[in-house]
């Protein structure tokens, strides 16, 4: 795939493919023209797209002349209404593939006098295999280095088994992050205060091998760093953390993995008036919500720069909360939490934004036995 965020790919990126003589590969394909309107052409188009979704995903560029598989010129296409053309092919995909392809994106890129190029980004699917059902077809396609092929019975059985196991494998990555935080299996450690641990994991993690060049300058920053941050290079990637306190504990850190995922950890509560008889253990919901939005949205933005798009799995665990009360308002606190740790229901998101994360925000409040208000902090829900 082109190593840039889908929305940021522009004419200059297309020109760079030509200037560098980029060749087709398993995750990048060039086509001179859009398919025709015949039944045969549409079936071929659907077979191409599903074969990539059933494999490692790909960017498909229509409007690139690539004899012998090497991009040589922007052939371009003259379309009166590009938006309508993109919509037409989106509808072809919607009606001709089962199950629906998650996370697929199409857009038109204006290349000036040369015409336009249509880009389709096909992520490796989390619910593969997909079949072509257009015009009474019922066929599954896979992908090899020399092109697509029809999958046999054993390959289909393996594909279905892999899809069923994927959610468990993705969740295990988050549980590793939780375990590392709780066991202090890192070069830094947290204090005993209530803590949130959020993992952002592309659903293609096990379908696309990655080894990103992560540097301290480009790693994900921890939530609300105070003072200067410190960086630690690790086998897994780069860890950035806030200044240690008096006891040597940090309040926030983030790990950017070379495999293309992130973990962010930060404290969400503390003991108030701990030297008095009336000491109270409190958790502030806004600390969790602000941190979750930071971890998910900033993490997705960081990964976008490497051409890694959704769908994403967002997982959050809160620890050390037993006997702590949620500060519902300045006049009201919840009852003490009865459990010490809660892993919130995982959330699969295709397009990362605040609205998509609301189910996790609601689950957090329920961990303290309280329904989340529509506007808990006087702003938008």
Tell me what pLDDT residue 145 has: 75
Q: How many CB atoms lie within 10 A of CB 158?
A: 12
Rounded to whole angstroms, how far apart are CA atoms 362 and 349? 16
- For the chain, the average pLDDT equals 89
pLDDT band at 155 (very low <50, low <70, confident <90, very high): confident
Rounded to whole angstroms, how far apart are CA atoms 372 and 103? 29
pLDDT in tens, 202-258: 887 887 778 999 999 889 999 987 667 899 999 999 999 988 876 778 889 999 999
Residue 216 has φ and ψ, to the nearest 5°, of -55, -35
Tell me what pLDDT residue 350 has: 81
What percentage of the chain carries pLDDT values higher than 90? Answer: 56
Residues 6+ away with beta carbon under 8 Å from 301: none
> Is residue 380 scored above 60 in pLDDT?
no
pLDDT in tens, 84-125: 999 999 999 999 999 999 889 999 999 988 889 999 999 888
pLDDT in tens, 176-211: 999 998 887 788 888 889 999 999 998 878 877 789
Q: Are 98 and 131 in contact (CB under 8 A)?
A: yes
Tell me what pLDDT residue 274 has: 54
Provide the phi-psi class of 227: left if phi over 0, else alpha when psi is between -120 and 50, else beta.
left
Residues 6+ away with beta carbon under 8 Å from 338: 322
pLDDT in tens, 264-294: 999 999 988 755 566 789 999 999 999 999 9
> Is residue 57 scored above 80 in pLDDT?
yes
Mean pLDDT across 299-305: 88
Tell me what pLDDT residue 189 has: 81
Mean pLDDT across 306-318: 88
Tell me what pLDDT residue 32 has: 92
Tell me what pLDDT residue 277 has: 61
Enter the pTM of the model.
0.74
Residues 6+ away with beta carbon under 8 Å from 101: 49, 50, 53, 93, 122, 125, 130
Residues 6+ away with beta carbon under 8 Å from 68: none
Tell me what pLDDT residue 227 has: 66
Tell me what pLDDT residue 226 has: 67
Most distant CA atoms of the chain, gap in Å: 80
């Amino acid at each position: 795939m082109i190593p840039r965020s889908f929305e940021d790919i522009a004419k200059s990126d297309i020109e760079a493919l030509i200037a560098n003589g980029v060749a087709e590969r398993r995750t990048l394909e060039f086509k001179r023209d859009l398919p025709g309107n015949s039944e045969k052409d549409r079936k071929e188009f659907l077979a191409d797209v599903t074969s990539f979704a059933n494999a490692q995903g790909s960017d498909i560029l229509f409007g690139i002349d690539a004899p012998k598989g090497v991009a040589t010129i922007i052939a371009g296409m003259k379309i009166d209404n590009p938006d309508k053309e993109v919509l037409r092919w989106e509808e072809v995909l919607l009606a001709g593939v089962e199950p629906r392809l998650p996370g697929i994106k199409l857009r038109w890129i204006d290349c000036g006098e040369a015409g336009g190029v249509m880009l389709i980004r096909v992520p490796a699917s989390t619910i593969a295999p997909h079949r072509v059902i257009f015009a009474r077809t019922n066929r599954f396609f896979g992908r090899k280095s020399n092109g697509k092929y029809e999958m046999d019975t054993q390959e289909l059985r393996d594909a279905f088994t892999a899809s069923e196991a994927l959610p468990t494998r993705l969740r295990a990555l988050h549980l590793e992050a939780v375990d590392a935080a709780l066991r202090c299996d890192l070069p830094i450690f947290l204090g005993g205060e209530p803590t949130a641990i959020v993992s952002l994991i592309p659903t293609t993690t096990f379908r696309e091998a990655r080894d990103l060049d992560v540097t301290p300058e480009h790693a994900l920053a921890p939530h609300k760093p105070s003072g200067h941050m410190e960086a630690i290079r690790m086998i897994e990637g780069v860890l950035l953390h806030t200044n240690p306190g008096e006891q040597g504990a940090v309040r926030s850190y983030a790990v950017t993995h070379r495999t293309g995922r992130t973990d962010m950890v930060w404290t969400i509560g503390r003991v108030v008036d701990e030297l008095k008889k009336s000491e109270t253990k409190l958790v502030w919901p806004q600390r969790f919500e602000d941190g979750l939005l930071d971890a998910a949205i900033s993490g997705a933005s960081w990964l976008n720069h490497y051409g890694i798009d959704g769908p994403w799995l967002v997982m959050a665990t809160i620890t050390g909360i037993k006997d702590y009360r949620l500060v519902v308002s300045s006049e009201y606190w919840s009852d003490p939490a009865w459990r010490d740790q809660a892993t919130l229901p995982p959330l699969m998101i295709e397009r990362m934004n605040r609205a998509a994360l609301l189910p996790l925000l609601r689950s957090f409040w329920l961990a303290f036995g309280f329904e989340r208000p529509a506007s808990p902090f006087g702003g938008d829900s």
